[in-house]
Amino acid sequence: MDEYSGVQSNYQSKMQSSRTLNDVCELHQMNYVGFCAVHQELVCEDCTDSEKHIHHSNKILLLKAAARDIVSKISNMTNELFESNDFKIRTNFRAMIMDFFEFLHEKLREIEREKMKELREMFAKMNCDDLSKKAEYLQRKQCQFQKYVKDLREKYNQKKYTRIIENTDEIKEQMDSITFHQQEIEQCKKDLEKFKNLNIIRKDQKSVEVLSKVVSQCIKVPNVRLISEEKDILHFFVYNSHSMYKYNIKSSNYEVCRIPVKIPANFMSIETDDGRIFISGGGEPGKARKTCYEFLDNTLIPRKDMIYERRAHTLTEIKDSKNKSHIYAIGSSLPTESMNKCEYYDVVTNTWTSGPSLNTKRNFHSSIAFKKYIYVMAGFNGGQRTNIIERLDTFYGDEWNFIDVKMKNYTKKWVCLEGCGLYTIDSTKILIFGGYTSSERKSRDCFMFYPESSIIERINCKTASESNFYQRQPKMSSDGNLYSVETNSLDIHIFDINTQTWSVLARKDIGW
Which tens digits make up the pLDDT trace of 20-66?
A: 456 789 899 999 888 888 888 899 989 988 988 888 877 888 888 88
308-328 pLDDT per residue, tens: 999 999 999 999 888 888 999
Q: What 3-state DSSP class applies to 129?
A: helix
Q: How far apart are CA 335 and CA 308, in angstroms?
A: 9
Q: How many residues does the chain have?
A: 512
Task: Please tell me the least confidently modeled range out of 209-223, 227-241, 359-373.
Answer: 209-223
Given a cut of 60, is residue 6 above it in pLDDT?
no
Q: Quote the mean pLDDT of the chain.
A: 80
398-421 pLDDT per residue, tens: 899 999 999 887 666 667 688 999
Strand partners, 467: 443
Q: What is residue 202's predicted lDDT score, i.e. its pLDDT? A: 44
Q: What 3-state DSSP class applies to 358?
A: coil
Q: Strands, E, within 267-313: which ranges?
A: 268-271, 277-280, 292-296, 299-302
Q: Sheet harboring 292-296: ordered strands across?
A: 268-271, 277-280, 292-296, 299-302
What distance lies between CA 28 and its chain's CA centroid?
56
**Contacts for 295 with CB less than 8 Å, ≥ 6 apart:** 244, 257, 259, 277, 278, 279, 301
Average pLDDT value for residue range 289-311? 93
Closest to 36 measured CA to CA, from 55, 22, 19: 55
Given a cut of 60, is residue 386 above it in pLDDT?
yes
Per the CB < 8 A criterion, the answer to whether 421 and 469 are in contact is yes
Domains and CATH numbers, the chain: 3-28+57-220 (no CATH), 228-510 (2.120.10.80)
Question: Using N-to-C axis directions, what is the helix angle for 168-193 and 63-83, rounded to 10°?
Answer: 0
DSSP secondary structure, 32-69, as one string: EEEEETTTTEEEEHHHHTSTTTGGGGGGEEEHHHHHHH
84-112 pLDDT per residue, tens: 444 444 444 545 555 556 666 666 665 55
Q: How far apart are CA 157 and CA 27, in angstroms?
A: 28
Cα angle for residues 66, 72, 76 (degrees, 5° grid):
150
Q: How far apart are CA 215 and CA 226, in angstroms?
A: 24
159-196 pLDDT per residue, tens: 777 777 777 677 677 767 777 776 776 776 666 665 54
